[in-house]
């Protein structure tokens, strides 16, 4: 049975690393899947990505949200839903919760929050599980500081990371399909804990 899994979290929490672990698990269990990302997934989405993440881009939060939703809706209709209908599992690196957190809550936009409510009624019907990656903001800041290049969100500093972390916690605190994974510690321990989550989702079906 196909599943739609969203991987969420702030900056510097190791999404790329953990998605590679998820791919390894799915490969080992012969589960057919695709991986997509936000913004992106389609040719149109990837073009939007280059605009939004550009450090020289200083567009308003609502403008960014509209661009995110344009990319997201194309990805959802052209890639995600067709893949689910074919029986494939879909792993998505971020989804509409990111827009709520970044542009809505931290960006203090009531309009973005209203947009989220409208689209959540559409998207939540398909989302089976959210894997929420958490890292202490100070650790995230250290990781980002070691990077040779950063996008406009990664470069906003420790206080911004703390705001993102608090916002994510508030969004996911009352959702029963969210599995929280602390990625602050030892990599092997994190991998083991992620495998437990994935086993529960795909093999025990009780997550």
From residue 67, give the alpha-carbon distance in Å to each of 59, 110, 113, 127, 177: 10, 17, 15, 21, 27
Alpha carbon of 47 to those of 42, 102, 168, 171: distances in Å? 9, 20, 27, 29
- The pLDDT, as a whole number, for residue 152 is 52
Q: What is the pLDDT of residue 148?
A: 59
Q: For the chain, what is the mean pLDDT?
A: 91
Q: What is the pLDDT of residues 42-68, one digit of tens each?
A: 999 999 888 887 777 778 899 999 999
Q: What is the DSSP string of the chain?
A: ---EEEEEE-TTS-HHHHHHHHHHHHHHTT--EEEEESS-SSHHHHHHHHHHT-TT----HHHHHHHHHHHHHHHIIIIIHHHHHTT-EEEEES-HHHHIIIIIIITT-HHHHHHHHHHHHHHTTT--EEEEEE--HHHHHHHHHT-S---TTGGG-HHHHHHHHHHHHHHHTT-TTEEEEE-SS-HHHHHHHHHHHHHIIIII---
Are 43 and 76 spatial neighbours (Cβ–Cβ below 8 Å)?
Answer: no
> Is residue 141 pLDDT above 50, yes or no?
yes
* pLDDT exceeds 70 at position 13: yes
Whether 204 shows a pLDDT value over 80: the answer reads no
pLDDT tens track for 70-123: 999 999 999 999 999 999 999 999 999 999 999 999 999 999 999 999 999 999
Is the pLDDT higher at 35 or at 155?
Answer: 35
In the chain, pLDDT over 70 holds for what percent of residues?
94
Model confidence over 156-181: pLDDT tens digits? 678 989 999 999 999 999 899 999 99
The domain of 12 spans 4-204
What is the count of structural domains for the chain? 1
Bigger pLDDT: 192 vs 150: 192
The CATH number of the domain holding residue 41 is 3.40.50.300
In the predicted structure, residue 205 carries a pLDDT above the cut 60: no
pLDDT at 206: 47
């Amino acid at each position: 049975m196909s599943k739609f899994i969203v991987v969420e979290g702030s900056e510097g929490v190791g999404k790329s690393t953990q998605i590679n672990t998820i791919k390894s698990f799915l490969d080992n269990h012969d589960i057919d899947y695709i991986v997509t990302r936000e913004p992106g997934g389609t040719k149109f989405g990837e073009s939007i990505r280059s605009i939004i993440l550009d450090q020289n881009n200083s567009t308003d939060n609502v403008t960014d949200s509209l661009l995110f939703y344009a990319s997201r809706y194309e990805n959802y209709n052209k890639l995600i839903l067709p893949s689910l209908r074919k029986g494939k599992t879909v792993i998505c690196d971020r989804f509409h919760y990111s827009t709520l957190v970044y542009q809505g809550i931290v960006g203090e936009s009531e309009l973005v929050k209203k947009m989220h409510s409208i689209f959540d009624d559409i998207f939540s019907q398909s989302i089976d599980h959210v894997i929420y990656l958490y890292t202490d903001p100070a650790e995230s800041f250290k990781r980002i500081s070691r990077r040779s290049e950063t996008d406009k969100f990664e470069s906003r500093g420790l206080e911004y990371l703390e705001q993102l972390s608090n916002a994510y916690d508030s969004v996911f605190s009352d959702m029963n399909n969210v599995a929280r994974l602390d990625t602050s510690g030892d990599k092997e321990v994190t991998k083991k804990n992620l495998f437990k989550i994935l086993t529960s989702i795909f093999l025990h079906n009780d997550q």
